[in-house]
Amino acid sequence: MNRIFILGFTFLLLPLFAQAQTAEVTLQEAVDIALENNYQLKQARNNKELTETGIFSAKAEFAPSLNASFNGSRNVGRQFVQEDLSFDDRTTYSFSGGVSTNITLFNGFSNIANLRQARAEDASQEETLQRLREEIIFNTASRYLEVVLNEELLKIAEATLEASRSQLEQIEAQVEVGARPTVDLFNQESTVASDELTVVQRQNAVDVSRAQLIRIMQDDKITAVETVVPSVDELAIVPVNINLNDMIEAALDNRSDFKAQEFAIESNRQNQTIARANMLPSLTASASINSRYSDQFELPGLGLVPFTDQFFEDQVSRSLGFSLSIPIFNRWNNRTNLQNAKITLKNSQLQLDNIRFQITEEVRQAYNDYQAVVKEVESSEKALIAAQRAFETEQQRYEIGSTTLIELNQANANFVQAQSERVQAIYNFIFQEQLLDYYIGRLDRTLTID
């Protein structure tokens, strides 16, 4: 009975274990998942559909309207009978119908401006959507690189801890035979404890960065990730020569947020045209055809005229006309709307200047950071080589008794610090390359770490 219960309980937990399995995710896969699931991107796509609908609606304003109406009635009591021009108590039945159409001939070119405004809003939304894609790609790549960096730092900490424990075993053996003082044992135990704490901290940093990566991907099926990247030694660090002015010009040409604001200005400019058009006369042409049937319509000697003869021949009426509307006074609403449109246009132009300044500052900062990280990569490599040689020398001196354990541990700490700074410099270089593309506006969803 207990075996059956245990087997059944295990069977129920199998799906949970399956969901909790760690999945290997490349940088490209992480970006694709984030782009697929991001709710802000979905909302932006919905807004893009709305602006496309606005274009269709604006185009439809150029077409004539067409309306059909049909009415039927039954009247009981004293009433005026149109067919024999008399009042009488009776029950009458009638049916009428008609078709009408009208078309705007002139409305101050408001319909043209409305179409242009709709197209500008659609183009602005498209650029906003593109910039949001770039932002998601950049944020996902940043989170992914942060995970990779923390994993590399964890490897260094684990290797350092393993070396410290190995050193502790050697010192314990030497203390037992009296070759080393007891204080060396205590110092090494302290070093091992410190290295263990470092491993715990590094592991926590890895777990936190992985959780942030999973969150930005927004996939409920993914509960744990394992990055797939080349080793640090396999990464190609090739600095490129870049010109700041060329970067700024490229950013102003490529940045989607800058283009989106330009289209927003165009939309506001057309809105001003619409407000001005409302102060001009409008001309509308209309046409209609109507007919009716009545059970009281009779002809002398023929009696009641049939429905088809009445409705399609005898009682058909047609009309054709135009309507001219001239705004004279509407409590200054049109003038107020025009003034509001002008102010909105000026504010959007000021916003474009602010975006231009912001882009310039972002590109300049990214340029300076890239130049600094290139130097950082070079200096970290030199520092690592020097720290490694110093540690190896101190280790050899300690083995022959020419130095103390404290000096050896200090050299080891410097070597570990140099390793960490080297790894951070490499991934900072990769990050700055992505940052340059992001601020220039040429970040693509196809990303690799190589």
Q: What pLDDT score does 242 carry?
A: 87
315 near 293, Cβ under 8 Å?
yes
Positions of the chain with pLDDT under 70:
1-22, 81-84, 232-234, 236, 445, 447-450
Closest by Cα among 266, 441, 444 to 359:
441
Which phi and psi (to 5°) does residue 259 adopt?
-65, -40
Q: What pLDDT score does 286 carry?
A: 96
* Residue for token pair 């002015």: 245
Closest by Cα among 56, 55, 108, 51 to 337:
108
Evaluated on CA atoms 335, 338, 342, 348, the torsion sign reads positive
Q: Any idea where the domains of the chain sit in the sequence?
A: 18-63+108-280+332-440, 71-106+286-326
Q: What pLDDT score does 87 carry?
A: 76
| Burial of residue 286 (number of CB atoms within 10 Å: 0-12, 13-18, 19+) | middle
Give the angle 360-140-32 at the CA atoms, nearest 5°: 115
Partners of 284 in beta bridges: 104, 323
Q: What pLDDT score does 281 carry?
A: 94
pLDDT per residue over 100-153, tens digit each?
A: 999 999 999 999 999 999 999 999 999 999 999 999 999 998 999 999 889 989
Q: What pLDDT score does 220 carry?
A: 82
Q: What pLDDT score does 426 carry?
A: 87
Q: What pLDDT score does 20 carry?
A: 46
Rounded Cα gap, residues 209 and 257, in angstroms: 29
For β-strands 86-106 and 282-294, DSSP reports them as: antiparallel
Token reading at 260: 């989106």
Q: Which CATH class is domain 18-63+108-280+332-440?
A: mainly alpha
Q: Which helix (H) or strand (E) holds 67?
A: strand 65-81
